Amino acid sequence: MVRLTMLAAAGLFTVCATGALAQATTLRVLDTFTETSDGMDALVAAFEEANPDIDVQRDVQAVDDMRPTIQTALNSGTGPDVFYYDTGPGFGGVLAKAGLVRPLDDFYASGALDHIYPWTHERVTFDGKLYGIGHAVEFLSVYYNADLFKEHGLSAPTTYQEFLGLCESLKNEGMIPIAFGNAQGWPAFHTFSLYANNMIPQDRLKAMIAGEESWDTPEIVGAIQAGFVDLDKNGCFNPSVNAASYDDAIALFTSGMAAMVMTGSWIIPTLQEAPFNVDFFFLPAPEGGTTTPPAGLSSGYFVSAATQHPEEAERFLKFLFDPANANYWVEGMSVIPPYIVDPATVTASPLMGRTMQALSSDTMGLNIDVLTPEAFNTVMQDGFQAVLAGDRTPAEEATALQAAMGQ
């Protein structure tokens, strides 16, 4: 009898447990945090603990793999519920226009995202509707070996002439002034963004990105000339920039062989491992320009239009963007969330701390390649390599850029 009662109790427990499990909703999430996957797993685990009725099935994919596959995945109707993808008209905008992502206007209107920087809204707004939440604020600057600068009595430049003088001094010391690897083509995007933002007023640059103003202008020619031809001719870069990769350039810098590297704040986790102190300065604008460091969003979160779990998706996003969880991003993944982070709530390295401080205090420009269409980026990629190889003049490249934007 006792055995029978125990069996009945076990059966009842099994039924109850099965029922509870059946109630858990599976939310499929796809992101591109390949190198900081553990940090993202920790954040997801915290969400699941706080929301036991939701089971997050997280997949991670490299950015280069995500771009060609996400459209097919969403189109097939079997894609993720929530995914992390490039913002801007050439990426998230294409999906929005095809009706593959869900508008989030009501979610924004609920007040759950009031703390998100308003300037991020325009990066995820297409045809007047908000389709995503921009994330991972980044900026481009010049990172330098602070110990080496100190050793040689050098300091961060405040004018462009000082910057050129710095290159000359370092070259005379037998060092590589700036590590630059452009084998992949895209590292040149950042150099171009740094110069274009410094040499062209923001309203005009916005108009160019929107296709309302020509790229074939003397200022664009000047930016290409100064950022690629002149720096290369003056020996500011390492040799064979088109053959060296981005990773090679970072290795040159972190090994102490090069004094500076122009890149984005996403590289901070790597730079922090260098055996010397690293600091950064914003590339000073040439005479007549305004120093305007390009900043932007790495990507953004979107919700599939085909999701069967919109409410769960919004709960997940609310958790990700909750300022109380900022430490998961900053400390766990070296990612700067798109809102003012209370320094008391996070544990950040000195470099990360200065980066967050700079973002909240300086006027920021536009990171061009995340906003322009893929065809334009292809012309930048191939064209800047050609300019660096001496196969194309800056004027020819400016004409090619305008032709690509015209398409």
For another protein, the closer CB: 334 or 377: 377
Number of residues that bind another protein (CB under 8 A): 35
Q: What is the DSSP letter of 130?
A: E
Q: Are 156 and 279 in contact (CB under 8 A)?
A: yes
Q: Are 40 and 11 in contact (CB under 8 A)?
A: no
Q: Are 168 and 176 in contact (CB under 8 A)?
A: no
Which of 39-47, 155-163, 205-213, 379-387 is the region at the interface with another protein (rule: CB under 8 A)?
379-387
Tell me if 268 contacts another protein by CB under 8 A.
no
- Spatial separation of the C-alpha atoms in residues 401 and 379, rounded to whole Å: 6
Q: What is the DSSP letter of 226?
A: I
Out of 248, 312, 314, 369, point to the residue binding another protein (CB under 8 A): 248
Binding mask 91-130 for another protein (x = CB under 8 A): ---xx--x-x------------------------------
Q: Answer left, alpha or beta for residue 174, where phi above 0 means left and psi between -120 and 50 means alpha.
A: left
CA atoms within 13 A on the CB side of 316: 30
Helix (H) / strand (E) containing 326: helix 326-333
Structure tokens at 64: 């280069």
Pairing of strands 125-126, 176-179: unpaired
For another protein, the closer CB: 348 or 387: 387
Q: Residue 190: name the closest of 384, 49, 8, 339 by CA.
A: 384
| Amino acid, single-letter form, for residue 103 | P
Which of 156-164, 197-205, 225-233, 247-255 is the region at the interface with another protein (rule: CB under 8 A)?
247-255
Tell me if 75 contacts another protein by CB under 8 A.
yes
Give Cβ neighbours of residue 128 (< 8 Å, ≥ 6 apart). Answer: none
Tell me if 391 contacts another protein by CB under 8 A.
yes
For another protein, the closer CB: 186 or 266: 186
Q: Are 36 and 294 in contact (CB under 8 A)?
A: no
Write the CA distances from 271 to 202, 203, 250, 263, 278, integer angstroms.
30, 33, 8, 11, 7
For another protein, the closer CB: 60 or 183: 183
Structure tokens at 327: 């430490």
For another protein, the closer CB: 361 or 407: 407
Tell me if 386 contacts another protein by CB under 8 A.
yes
- Spatial separation of the C-alpha atoms in residues 157 and 144, rounded to whole Å: 11
For another protein, the closer CB: 147 or 374: 374
Task: Please report how close the Cβ of residue 178 comes to another protein at its closest, in angstroms.
Answer: 14
For another protein, the closer CB: 81 or 248: 248
Out of 42, 60, 156, 183, point to the residue binding another protein (CB under 8 A): 183
Which of 114-122, 135-143, 161-169, 178-186 is the region at the interface with another protein (rule: CB under 8 A)?
178-186
| Amino acid, single-letter form, for residue 391 | D
Task: Please report how close the Cβ of residue 391 comes to another protein at its closest, in angstroms.
Answer: 6
Which of 133-141, 341-349, 354-362, 381-389 is the region at the interface with another protein (rule: CB under 8 A)?
381-389
Tell me if 261 contacts another protein by CB under 8 A.
no
**Bridge partner list, 137:** 297
Out of 37, 184, 214, 277, point to the residue binding another protein (CB under 8 A): 184
Out of 57, 72, 308, 347, point to the residue binding another protein (CB under 8 A): 72
Task: Please report how close the Cβ of residue 44 comes to another protein at its closest, in angstroms.
Answer: 28
Binding mask 130-159 for another protein (x = CB under 8 A): ------------------------------
Per the listing, tokens 């001496």 go with: 390
Task: Please report how close the Cβ of residue 225 comes to another protein at its closest, in angstroms.
Answer: 18
Within positions 224 to 243, which residues make up the interface with another protein, using CB under 8 A?
A: 238-243
- Spatial separation of the C-alpha atoms in residues 77 and 306, rounded to whole Å: 6
- Spatial separation of the C-alpha atoms in residues 79 and 174, rounded to whole Å: 53
Q: Residue 116: name the closest of 299, 266, 340, 320 by CA.
A: 340
Tell me if 74 contacts another protein by CB under 8 A.
yes
Structure tokens at 177: 């002034």
Contact positions toward another protein, by CB under 8 A? 67-68, 71-72, 74-75, 94-95, 98, 100, 183-185, 238-245, 248, 251-252, 374-375, 378, 381-383, 385-386, 389, 391-392
